[in-house]
Amino acid sequence: MANAEQLRKEILEKTREYYKVAFPEKTFSPGETYVNYGGRFFDHEELEYLVDSSLDFWLTAGRYCESLEEQLQKFLKTKACLLTTSGSSANLLAFMTLTAESLGERRVKPGDEVITVAAGFPTTVSPSIQYGAVPVFVDVEIPSYNIDISQLEAALSEKTKAVMVAHTLGNPFNLKEVHAFCKKHKLWLIEDNCDALGSTYDGKYTGTYGDLATCSFYPAHHMTTGEGGAVFVNNPYLKKITLSLRDWGRDCWCPSGKDNTCGKRFEWDFSQLPKGYDHKYVYSHFGYNLKMTEMQAAVGCAQMKKLPTIIERRKQNHKFIKEQLLNYQDVLTLPEAEPLSDPSWFGFLITVKDNASFSKADIVKHLERNLIQTRNLFAGNLIKHPCFDGLRNRGEGYRVVGDLKNTDSIMNNTFWIGVYPGLDESRLKYMTDKISEYIENESQ
Ligand SMILES: Cc1ncc(COP(=O)(O)O)c(C=O)c1O
């Protein structure tokens, strides 16, 4: 009888064969094939790694999680990477790290303020609200779609403790100014890097400037693990807090399945616990369990090999679309990269100008009718969503600086189309042709 290793080899060979049969290359038939805004970019390797991890049947965090954390941290050049269940849980963990009692005066307490934007993704903001901190919303700029740094000083109060914002659709925000503002006022900076893996600012990857940064591996993102995310952190003390919060709040840092990494498991002394109480069961924070599983990480390890290609293709696709649409700037605002940045774009943002003879809704309908998938810039204006009804009606729980004019304009006039590597030139050209066709018909 074959041994386990031989069988594993055969199964993996069969998996490779299965991939070829089950996922043949999709030909593009204009007007019949759906042109998605994003999607999984994978081949037989992802399937093989996934099956390989399933044959280990370790299930919880193990060798693949360890490897993915190491690879990501090496890629971004950060001191630590902690895998999570999603980008949203990474945001939750990053934010809650800053609430740890042990941070003393600098910790974020309920009632403290966190500067952010309303033209963003909800889970960049929800951890603050859930905890009882107060998000302070400032406007964004168009066409960078990033935080308007001229409003930072106006947003500041004696209660401000942090800035938590995303690099919108992969376009780095003005890290130089935001970082300097945080330093000047001793504020924490959390970069929501969920849409920007591989973007650089002033020669360094985004996700490495803030005290903490987050990433999402949901299928539409640059790389995927199905559901999944990560927190990046350089400061070892913050890392210890994030790790504890991610892993039930425990004080012990042993990986799953390991004991006594500290070498003094039964020798610790905590004032209220019996002397030598098992360190594995000592809790220093009110934590969660937000660990990634082994099978998700296995897919991530295969995706890491493709990441440089993915980033390059996203940049090329963005450039291609922009070149094709340059002639329509009288009616469309096209996206601009933040100065000093080289974005690893998540999507191609388009704002329909006020003087256009058509609305965003009109052109979006036209594109969707032609099987071109479109997306809104997340929440548009987050404050106008039903989740804010209670707070808005009671006039509490958040603060707004200025009139959020651009945020409202984004809600009404902005949409985006895909740039993911699954879009080849024929699909990209089809998308831009349908946009040109519509504008030209409308202006006749
Ligand atoms: C900016 C931003 N932050 C956070 C998230 C949440 O990530 P996830 O879907 O993995 O929870 C997303 C998701 O698309 C996002 O775009």
In this structure, what CATH number is given to the domain that contains residue 202? 3.40.640.10
Residues in contact with 297: Cβ distance below 8 Å, sequence separation at least 6, in sequence order:
53, 61, 64, 65, 67, 68, 83, 225, 228
Are both 261 and 373 inside the same structural domain? no
Are both 190 and 314 inside the same structural domain? no
Are both 101 and 135 inside the same structural domain? yes
Which of the 8 DSSP states describes residue 289?
B
Are both 216 and 267 inside the same structural domain? yes
- Note the helical H segments in 283-404: 294-325, 360-369, 389-394
354 within some domain: yes
| CATH number of the domain where residue 329 is located | 3.90.1150.10
Are both 344 and 287 inside the same structural domain? no
369 within some domain: yes
Domain end, chosen from 252, 269, 296, is at: 296
Residue 440 CB neighbours (<10 A)? 11
Are both 167 and 197 inside the same structural domain? yes
pLDDT score, position 1: 74
Residue 126 CB neighbours (<10 A)? 17
Are both 323 and 221 inside the same structural domain? no
Tell how far the Cα of 121 is from the centroid of ligand 1, in angstroms.
7
- Which residues are known to be catalytic? 221
Of the residues 40, 84, 88, which should be mutated to test ligand 1's pocket, given the most ligand atoms within 8 Å of the CB? Answer: 88
215 within some domain: yes
pTM value is 0.97
Are both 89 and 224 inside the same structural domain? yes
Residues in contact with 66: Cβ distance below 8 Å, sequence separation at least 6, in sequence order:
255
Residue 132 CB neighbours (<10 A)? 13
Report the distance separating Cα 281 and Cα 18, nearest Å: 45
Tell how far the Cα of 87 is from the centroid of ligand 1, in angstroms.
5
Tokens of 424: 């080849």
338 within some domain: yes
Per-residue pLDDT tens digits of the chain, which is 444 residues long: 789 999 999 999 999 999 999 999 989 999 999 999 999 999 999 999 999 999 999 999 999 999 999 999 999 999 999 999 999 999 999 999 999 999 999 999 999 999 999 999 999 999 999 999 999 999 999 999 999 999 999 999 999 999 999 999 999 999 999 999 999 999 999 999 999 999 999 999 999 999 999 999 999 999 999 999 999 999 999 999 999 999 999 999 998 889 999 999 999 999 999 999 999 999 999 999 999 999 999 999 999 999 999 999 999 999 999 999 999 999 999 999 999 999 999 999 999 999 999 999 999 999 999 999 999 999 999 999 999 999 999 999 999 999 999 999 999 999 999 999 999 999 999 999 999 999 999 877
Report the distance separating Cα 111 and Cα 90, nearest Å: 22
Report the distance separating Cα 126 and Cα 220, nearest Å: 21
Structural domain containing residue 164? 51-296
414 within some domain: yes
Ligand 1 closest atom vs CA 120: 1
Report the distance separating Cα 376 and Cα 256, nearest Å: 40
pLDDT score, position 257: 85
Of the residues 40, 123, 140, 197, which should be mutated to test ligand 1's pocket, given the most ligand atoms within 8 Å of the CB? Answer: 123
Ligand 1 closest atom vs CA 89: 11
Ligand 1 closest atom vs CA 88: 11
Tell how far the Cα of 216 is from the centroid of ligand 1, in angstroms.
6
- The set of protein residues with a Cβ atom below 6 angstroms from ligand 1 is 86-88, 91, 121, 123-124, 166, 192, 194-195, 216, 218, 229
Domain end, chosen from 274, 296, 318, is at: 296
- What is the domain count for the chain? 2
Reduced to 3 states, what is the DSSP secondary structure of residue 348?
A: strand
Are both 261 and 173 inside the same structural domain? yes
16 within some domain: no
Are both 77 and 200 inside the same structural domain? yes
Tell how far the Cα of 279 is from the centroid of ligand 1, in angstroms.
34
114 within some domain: yes
- Rg (alpha carbons) of the chain, rounded to whole number: 23
Reduced to 3 states, what is the DSSP secondary structure of residue 166?
A: strand
Nearest to 247 by CA among 84, 66, 58: 84
pLDDT score, position 443: 79
69 within some domain: yes
Ligand 1 closest atom vs CA 218: 10
List the residue whose alpha carbon is closest to atom 8 of ligand 1: 87
Domain end, chosen from 244, 270, 296, is at: 296
Tell how far the Cα of 223 is from the centroid of ligand 1, in angstroms.
13
Of the residues 146, 171, 195, which should be mutated to test ligand 1's pocket, given the most ligand atoms within 8 Å of the CB? Answer: 195
Are both 234 and 321 inside the same structural domain? no
Are both 277 and 325 inside the same structural domain? no
